[in-house]
Amino acid sequence: MAETSGDRGFREGAVAVVPMAVAVFGFGLSYGVLARAAGMGGVAPVVMSITTFAGSAQFAAASVLQAGGAAATAALSALMLNARYLPIGVTVAPWLRGSIWSRLLHAHLTVDESWVIAAEGTGRWNPRVLLAAGMGIWIAWVLGTIGGVVFGDVIGDPARLGLDAAFPALFLALLVPQLRSTERTTQVAGLRIGAPPPVIAALLGAAIALTLTPFTPAGVPIVAAGAACLIGLRRRP
């Protein structure tokens, strides 16, 4: 597997994930506080962090429950926000060659942050880095949730601490290194645009997401934005 998945290993993944794990611990704290305030109790939010393991989806489910929404609405909004993991799973699949249990473990540990850290560029992913980074994020997320549930009264309102803005800031820090490309122009629908394909995909993705936000349930705009990657579709030879 080494010749196709780069030179980085488990250790490199574990080192690369540390700064993000610290940030994710902070998000876990704020999730624990909000979930408890939403009436989810102390145990359910922690079990959800262990099993669902997806930040934005868990925040969405908690906010629906807090607003008195039905179980189906809360679960559906969480799954909508996680729908992006279907195409994300397809991108890492070629590099996961272990047993079914190994593939399930790697799939569970695939979140935005570990997926980005494990990317080797040109559509390749490193499974050892994915495993290490995913474990680091998972531990931080679960411990953060426990901390938030237990110490919620001390922490207070996470919005007052600006933690909701830390979320997009982390994604922006993950996005910027992905904007580099060896190609300087993008061919879209017969037009040649003077910007690299990742920049066009990012701008298009953001535009789709913001345009759909007022009209669709949460999660739909993000999945639809993923369609911007289709500008990279090669013509059939």
Partner 1 sequence: MSTVWVVVIVSGVGTLALKAAGPVLFGGKQLPDRFTGVVGLLGPALLAALVAIGTFADGQHLVLDGRVLGVGAAAAAIRFRAPVLVVVIIAAAVTATARAIAG
Helix (H) or strand (E) holding 114: helix 112-117
* Contact status: 195 vs partner 1 (CB under 8 A): no
Piece of the chain touching partner 1 by CB under 8 A; list 7-15, 39-47, 142-150: 39-47
Piece of the chain touching partner 1 by CB under 8 A; list 7-15, 112-120, 139-147, 148-156: 112-120
If you write DSSP's letter for every residue of 53-73 in order, what string do you get? --HHHHHHHHHHHHTT--HHH
Piece of the chain touching partner 1 by CB under 8 A; list 5-13, 111-119, 135-143, 148-156: 111-119
Task: Work out how close the CB of 27 gets to partner 1 at its nearest, in angstroms, rounded to a whole number.
Answer: 9
Residues 199-218 that bind partner 1 (CB under 8 A): 199, 201-206, 208-210, 213-218
Asked if 225 and 210 count as a contact pair (C-beta separation under 8 A), the reply is no
Exactly one of 6, 29, 36, 115 binds partner 1 (CB under 8 A); which one? 115
Task: Work out how close the CB of 148 gets to partner 1 at its nearest, in angstroms, rounded to a whole number.
Answer: 15
CB atoms within 10 A of CB 110: 25
Nearer to partner 1, 100 or 189 (CB): 100
* Contact status: 25 vs partner 1 (CB under 8 A): no
Nearer to partner 1, 20 or 129 (CB): 20
Exactly one of 10, 171, 185, 188 binds partner 1 (CB under 8 A); which one? 171
Task: Work out how close the CB of 139 gets to partner 1 at its nearest, in angstroms, rounded to a whole number.
Answer: 16
* Contact status: 51 vs partner 1 (CB under 8 A): yes
Residues 137-166 that bind partner 1 (CB under 8 A): 159-166
Asked if 197 and 182 count as a contact pair (C-beta separation under 8 A), the reply is no
Task: Work out how close the CB of 135 gets to partner 1 at its nearest, in angstroms, rounded to a whole number.
Answer: 15
Helix (H) or strand (E) holding 125: strand 124-125
Nearer to partner 1, 6 or 198 (CB): 198
Exactly one of 2, 100, 154, 189 binds partner 1 (CB under 8 A); which one? 100
